[in-house]
Amino acid sequence: MSQTFQHKCEYLLFLLLSAFVRTLPLALALLLGRGLGTLIYFAQPRRRSKARTNLRLAFPEKSEEECRRLLRENFRQLGQTGIEMLRLDLYRHPQMIKKSFAINGIEEVQRALAGGKGCFLLTGHIGFWEAGCILLPLHGVPTDLIYKQMKNPYVEKRILALREVTGTRAIEKRRAARKILRSLSDNRAVAVLIDQRVSRREGVQVNFFNRPVNATPIIATMAIKQGTPIVPAFSRRLPGHRYEITFAPMITFPQENNPAAETVIAATQLLTDQIEAAVRRSPEQWFWVHDRWRP
């Protein structure tokens, strides 16, 4: 089977699932997502094992039973995330926004943009992290999103259309530096997720849950060189199919044209600490299946 044919078959299944999910009432669609997450929990032992290992590394103080309950709920949450992605554009309607979202601190983004240098939105794979693609442009915030290229180009094209439906622009992360600088010069907010592993060549070593990890220094470096403010922005699910989107006070670093390596590492550690604090608030909602602590 050629790769192109395989991608088209996958895309057909994706479209069928998407069409079905979009016809369901919200509560039923999310319940289906939680069920799919439970199915994945039992059907993917390697992912389950990796997530369990990560939880034990992050929370050595938790009992085995606590980790087991957290792990099962995490897979339900991941299933729900998939369903939310397929319905992303449906959240743009004013009634849906009012019903589903509690938005706190968006004035921090507006304050950061008032400086005319753009801003970074620091976030991670927590809760309904894609919601910002829809909400921010509707609140008058011109937004760009840095994303990682998908293996299936047909599915990627559809996902990008969902993300961009209210005006968000998607920037593929490879060779994205020049486009990011252009976005900042246009006084746009650039959303970046920095909670995934990078190679030793690309990253710097920081601590995450008291363990060493490699993290990208690009955002910290740009923020220092350009004098760009950073606004932490995180999502978490609430009971009743609601979501809380919180923008924390903006972070600024003294501007330097050639920051020392130690300065960049310290700034990257500060940003990583923001991610960790958000994960600790809602540990069941983070992407534990990712191999974050691989050497």
Clarify whether residues 97 and 239 are in a common domain.
yes
Q: Write down the pLDDT at residue 286.
A: 98
Clarify whether residues 14 and 137 are in a common domain.
no
Domain boundary among 48, 70, 86: 86
User: Cβ atoms within 10 A of the Cβ of 128, count?
Assistant: 24
Evaluate whether residue 158 is within a structural domain. Answer: yes
Beta strand pairing status for 230-238 and 204-208? unpaired
Clarify whether residues 16 and 154 are in a common domain.
no
pTM value?
0.95
Per-run averaged pLDDT (10 residues), the chain, 295 residues: 88 96 96 97 96 96 96 98 97 94 97 97 97 96 95 96 96 91 97 92 95 95 97 97 97 96 97 98 97 87
Measured distance CA(93)–CA(78) in Å, rounded: 24
Clarify whether residues 28 and 127 are in a common domain.
no
Clarify whether residues 22 and 127 are in a common domain.
no
Residue 249 backbone zone (phi > 0: left; psi -120 to 50: alpha; other: beta): beta
Q: Write down the pLDDT at residue 211.
A: 96
Evaluate whether residue 292 is within a structural domain. Answer: no
Clarify whether residues 69 and 107 are in a common domain.
no
Domain boundary among 50, 69, 86: 86
The domain tally of the chain equals: 2
Measured distance CA(176)–CA(148) in Å, rounded: 11
Residue with tokens 């997450």: 37
3-class SS of residue 250: coil
Evaluate whether residue 163 is within a structural domain. Answer: yes
Question: By residue range, what is the domain housing residue 75?
Answer: 1-86
Clarify whether residues 207 and 231 are in a common domain.
yes
Q: Write down the pLDDT at residue 237.
A: 97
